[in-house]
Amino acid sequence: MAATAVAAASRTLFLCRSKLVYPSKSFIHRPKRFFIFSRSSSSSQATLPSLSVSPANVIEVLQERGLLDAITSENLRSVASTSNLKVYCGFDPTAESLHLGNLLGIIVLSWFQRFGHRAVAVIGGATGRVGDPSGKSLERPELDTQTVEKNCSQISDLISKILGRRSSNSHLDSRKDANLMDELGENGDSSEKDAILKTKQDDSFVILNNYDWWKDITLLDFLREVGRFARVGAMMAKESVKKRLMSEEGMSYTEFTYQLLQGYDFLYLFKNMGVNVQIGGSDQWGNITAGTELIRKILQIEGAYGLTFPLLLKSDGTKFGKSEGGAIWLSPAMLSPYKFYQYFFTVPDVDVVRFLKILTFLSMEEIKELQEGMGKSGYVPNSVQRRLAEEVTLFVHGEEGLAEALKATEALRPGAETKLDAATIEGIAEDVPSCSLAYDQVLNSGLVDLSVSTGLLSSKSAARRLVKQGGLYLNNQRVDSEDKTIEDEDIVDGKVLLLSAGKKNKMVVRISS
């Protein structure tokens, strides 16, 4: 019954989101105030003007929420209000899953979706074999073809699920395209149309793999059609290149050409599919402007725009990523929804409001209310973190993932009345320490001894002290006696035990026959 209640609560939470921001068509086209801001390729810092009116288009929403670092032209603000944009963000397949550092790209794409624009996710099946040097001190390890293809497939599925959930929500406005083939314009050939049709899409987003157009381009084609328009001096002036050239490792020619490869992606998408905006993290500014420059020089036409958003940083100023250890993966196969939820539930107070602005779609009014509530007497610690965890988990893992996280969170809370089952305990086994013991090693053994032999506590004296303090739990039930022994009925479903030292430290004990 408890699990059913939690799932029902999750469905209610999903269906009754309060004060979500989504524009109506009249909202998109109403008169507004414009602000001029641009950033040159040599600029590393930029100050955006403050907004004095309600956001009238997606660019102003991104700015208000701290999701706008720079734009290549002030015209993008007006174009975003008067035209249907096609906006792309690239994702390199360097792992089987995207991580928290990639989430901002998906969120910004989703914001464009919510204002009726088309989101385009480009998986770097070709560029991923080279590796983006931006922000890296060493060249990335080379991936074999099979690994790249597997990663591309996994990431494509992940992005499709996340963006697809939003677009299937009838509460959010989405303009409809009459025909998917319009993506290709008048110059598209049948092979390009087939490539589009094979991708996962609905009417508000499309997922592509840049290997589909790179696989037929020869080196001579690239040098003739792209290389002759690039200036080495400008390429060397890019921040990502300058840092690597000054390092001991240096920079390979392969990495040096990456900005042209990504620039050609934008050129190809602009020319053949009408994609007119590229977005990326602030470290992508050089790669994005390489694309807008190629479009201007080769096609001799304006109308291509770039937009960057700040990188998602921890409190200490370091990036979230997979190479720094302890990555927060977006795929449930690599990090359970429970663990994902728990990460946001435990973020520091200093970060929680900023994360609400950039990682959720709650209105700024509601975020302000939540922030003000934190300073009032009677505020329950981590209440705002709980809301953050619910919103981000719902966006990434959907209603079912949130229900799973809520169920596990409640069931695994020391002192909870929810009856544990083996499946729930096993569901967190990969996220907490665990061990395996034979049945006869566990039955009739003292809990104090077991808490030490499993590694939950360092000594018997520490275990006895914790019992006296009321902080040692067996299957979420507080243990009041130092003499407690494990009985047959304590072994959940005859398979597992859950030991807890306080609220956070747990140990899953698997019982083997």
**Pairing relation of β-strands 70-71 and 305-309?**
antiparallel
400 confidence band (pLDDT: 50, 70, 90)? very high
Query: Whats the size of the chain, residue-wise?
Result: 513
The pLDDT value recorded for residue 422 is 83
Q: What percent of the chain has pLDDT over 70?
A: 72
The pLDDT value recorded for residue 11 is 40
297 is written with which tokens?
A: 């020089």
The pLDDT value recorded for residue 59 is 95
Is 134's pLDDT higher than 60?
Answer: no
Q: What is the pLDDT of residues 270-293, one digit of tens each?
A: 999 999 999 999 988 888 988 998
**Pairing relation of β-strands 86-91 and 201-202?**
unpaired
Beta bridge partners of 208: 122
Integer angstrom CA distances of residue 369 from 62, 374, 438:
20, 9, 53
**Pairing relation of β-strands 86-91 and 118-123?**
parallel
Is 119's pLDDT higher than 80?
Answer: yes
323 confidence band (pLDDT: 50, 70, 90)? very low
Q: What is the pLDDT of residues 37-94, one digit of tens each?
A: 333 333 333 334 434 334 568 999 999 999 999 999 999 999 999 889 999 999 989 8
Task: Find all residues with CB under 8 Å of 447, minimum gap 6, and list them.
Answer: 463, 472, 474, 479, 484, 485, 486, 499
Q: Who has greater pLDDT, 131 or 126?
A: 126
Is 367's pLDDT higher than 90?
Answer: yes
Q: Who has greater pLDDT, 340 or 194?
A: 340
The pLDDT value recorded for residue 214 is 84
| Mean of pLDDT values over 228-237 | 70
| Mean of pLDDT values over 229-243 | 70
Longest dimension (CA), the chain: 83
Rounded Cα distance between 396 and 105, Å, is: 13
* Three-state secondary-structure class, residue 92: coil
Tokens 């610690």, residue located: 381
The pLDDT value recorded for residue 383 is 92
173 confidence band (pLDDT: 50, 70, 90)? very low
The answer to whether residues 388 and 361 touch, using CB atoms and an 8 Å cutoff, is no
Q: Which amino acid is at 29?
A: H
The pLDDT value recorded for residue 4 is 46
Is 133's pLDDT higher than 70?
Answer: no
Is 219's pLDDT higher than 90?
Answer: no
Q: Give the chain's mean pLDDT.
A: 78
Enter the pTM of the model.
Answer: 0.73
The answer to whether residues 240 and 133 touch, using CB atoms and an 8 Å cutoff, is yes
Tokens 């993966």, residue located: 329
51 is written with which tokens?
A: 């907004």
Task: Look at residues 437, 507, 444 and name the one whose alpha carbon lies nearest to residue 472.
Answer: 507
Is 172's pLDDT higher than 50?
Answer: no
224 confidence band (pLDDT: 50, 70, 90)? confident
The pLDDT value recorded for residue 8 is 46
The pLDDT value recorded for residue 304 is 94
Q: Who has greater pLDDT, 232 or 474?
A: 474
Is 191's pLDDT higher than 60?
Answer: no
Residue 146 burial (CB count, 10 A):
8
Q: Who has greater pLDDT, 22 or 484?
A: 484
Tokens 């209610």, residue located: 12
Determine the distance from the C-alpha atom of residue 425 to the mean position of all C-alpha atoms in its chain, rounded to a whole number. Answer: 26
The pLDDT value recorded for residue 216 is 86
Q: Contacts by 322-325 with C-beta closer than 8 Å and gap 24+?
A: 322/94, 322/95, 322/99, 322/101
Is 136's pLDDT higher than 80?
Answer: no
Q: Who has greater pLDDT, 14 or 252?
A: 252
Is 363's pLDDT higher than 90?
Answer: yes
| Mean of pLDDT values over 100-122 | 94
Is 418's pLDDT higher than 80?
Answer: no
The pLDDT value recorded for residue 99 is 92
Is 169's pLDDT higher than 70?
Answer: no
Residue 41 burial by CB count (10 A; 0-12/13-18/19+): exposed, middle or buried? middle
Rounded Cα distance between 381 and 287, Å, is: 43
The pLDDT value recorded for residue 272 is 93
The pLDDT value recorded for residue 195 is 47
List, as one string, the DSSP characters of 363-389.
-HHHHHHHHHHHTSTTPPTTHHHHHHH
Residue 35 burial by CB count (10 A; 0-12/13-18/19+): exposed, middle or buried? middle
Most confident of 25-34, 79-88, 190-199: 79-88
Q: Who has greater pLDDT, 187 or 429?
A: 429
The pLDDT value recorded for residue 166 is 61
The pLDDT value recorded for residue 143 is 75
Backbone angles phi, psi at 122, to 5 degrees: -110, 115
| Mean of pLDDT values over 208-233 | 81
110 confidence band (pLDDT: 50, 70, 90)? very high
Q: What is the pLDDT of residues 378-394, one digit of tens each?
A: 888 889 999 999 999 99
Lowest mean pLDDT among 264-268, 292-296, 428-432, 483-487: 428-432
The pLDDT value recorded for residue 56 is 66
